Amino acid sequence: MSKGLSAVPAAGPVAEGLEGVVAAHTVLSDVDGQAGRLTIRGYAVEDLAQRASFEDVAHLLLDGFFDGMPSDLAPALGAARVRAFAEVAALDEGLARRDPVEAVRALIARLPDGDGLDTALLLIAAPAVFTPAVLRVAAGQSPVAPDAALSHAADMLRMTRGVPATDGEARALDAYLVTVCDHGLNASTFAARVVASTRAGLTSAVLAGISALKGPLHGGAPGPVIEMLDVIGAPDNAQAWILAALARGDRLMGFGHRIYRVRDPRADALKAAIRQLAQTSSTVPGRLAFAEAVEQAAVRILRDHKPDRPLDTNVEFYTAVLLEALGLPPAAFTCVFAMGRTAGWIAHAREQLATGKLVRPQSVYVGPRTKAAA
């Protein structure tokens, strides 16, 4: 264990942001920040993104953490989407017009807490059902009911648009969900594990996860990536815009990472999915080429800006390009991230629960010791 948590001195250094602290053993995923590798239960994320469905990878993550796991998760997850849709009745226009993450979180908060597989599947289904409903009700349209026979990705796109997605689009969303389903002890997963450790239940753990994910330093970054691309507008403007943003003290969204000291491997997994989508689109190839030009300029400038701190592309940059290519609105990108990551939060919550240990670190008091009461 590194600095900070095991034996806190009466005064002395603390690991701000828990940087470098090891707080769990996990069988779920390994983030190798030096080599730029993400392994999910033994498989390289790039391989999973190319070959496996979200249902397969959710099964892989949950395997061993629940009694009665079916061998094929797809029908059970389809049935859970239908169950989740019952909650959409509680969605009114006022709620739907809020930030989509807040609206989806409010609907998830209506689900009962529990620790079993039924609760887990309902929670994994929830963002896929609630996000389309929120977007449609906000636009004055009626929610579309789930089709349990479709894949999770295809059904989410159909419920959003009201018409079926192409196989290529469903496959691209599937690759995205697989790519983001788990990632070591990131902020939202840690939040979910903390809440799970109190034995509050899986719904509470997922609510903690989605609340942490919402912030722009974590899963809230891809919306601002689109704003950045739109403001830059053309490759020739990239350098001047980026230099001005850094001079103002802004952070470039979609760059930098706590663990990776090289390029985030998920960026390439997503780029491969965008390239596939580009083969059947007239607009995606141009947008991808533009994004690549901005990325190259940003990486070059960030190298000079912080020579001692590698700030390479993270998952959020190409998340933005991919989800935009699928016609999803930037305001909903974090909800789509949650659609994939909920599987990871739940597996981690169960893993934490199995340790039987409450997460309860210490702090070093640096306030006054003796103050006379008035």
Question: Which residues in the 308-367 window bind ligand ACO by CB under 6 A?
Answer: 309, 311, 314-316
Smallest separation (angstroms) from ligand ACO to the CB of 43: 20
DSSP H helices in the chain: 45-51, 54-62, 73-85, 93-96, 100-108, 117-138, 152-161, 167-180, 187-197, 202-213, 222-232, 238-247, 265-278, 284-305, 315-325, 333-355
Sole window of 58-66, 198-206, 303-311, 365-373 interacting with ligand ACO (rule: CB under 6 A): 303-311
- Identify whether 59 is a catalytic site residue: no
Smallest separation (angstroms) from ligand ACO to the CB of 269: 13
DSSP readout, 303-357? HHH-TTS---B-HHHHHHHHHHHTT--GGGHHHHHHHHHHHHHHHHHHHHHHHT-
- Identify whether 93 is a catalytic site residue: no
With respect to ligand ACO, which residue has the nearer C-beta, 150 or 253? Answer: 253
Q: Judged by CB under 6 A, does residue 251 bind ligand ACO?
A: yes
DSSP readout, 225-268? HHHHHHHH-SGGGHHHHHHHHHHTTPPPTTB--SS-SS--HHHH
Sole window of 215-223, 233-241, 270-278, 358-366 interacting with ligand ACO (rule: CB under 6 A): 215-223
With respect to ligand ACO, which residue has the nearer C-beta, 255 or 333? Answer: 255
Q: What are phi and psi of 83, to 5 degrees?
A: -65, -40
Catalytic residue among 59, 257, 348, 351: 257
Size of the site for ligand ACO (CB under 6 A): 20
CB 145 within 8 A of CB 125: no
Please give the order of strands across the beta sheet that includes 43-44: 29-32, 37-40, 43-44
Distance CA 31, CA 259 (A): 8
Q: Judged by CB under 6 A, does residue 254 bind ligand ACO?
A: yes
With respect to ligand ACO, which residue has the nearer C-beta, 152 or 214? Answer: 214
CA R_g for the chain: 21
Which of 105, 152, 158, 257 contacts ligand ACO by CB under 6 A?
A: 257
Which of 97, 110, 275, 306 contacts ligand ACO by CB under 6 A?
A: 306
Which of 184, 256, 265, 344 contacts ligand ACO by CB under 6 A?
A: 256
Question: Which residues in the 15-34 window bind ligand ACO by CB under 6 A?
Answer: 17
With respect to ligand ACO, which residue has the nearer C-beta, 146 or 254? Answer: 254
With respect to ligand ACO, which residue has the nearer C-beta, 58 or 315? Answer: 315
Burial 244-259 (b: 16+ CB within 10 A, else e): ebbeeeeebbbbbbbb
Q: Kindly state the greatest CA–CA separation across the chain.
A: 74
Catalytic residue among 169, 295, 316, 351: 316
Q: Judged by CB under 6 A, does residue 263 bind ligand ACO?
A: no
Which residues in this chain contact ligand ACO in the complex, by CB under 6 A?
Answer: 17, 186, 217-219, 221, 251-258, 306, 309, 311, 314-316
Residue positions annotated with a catalytic role: 257, 316
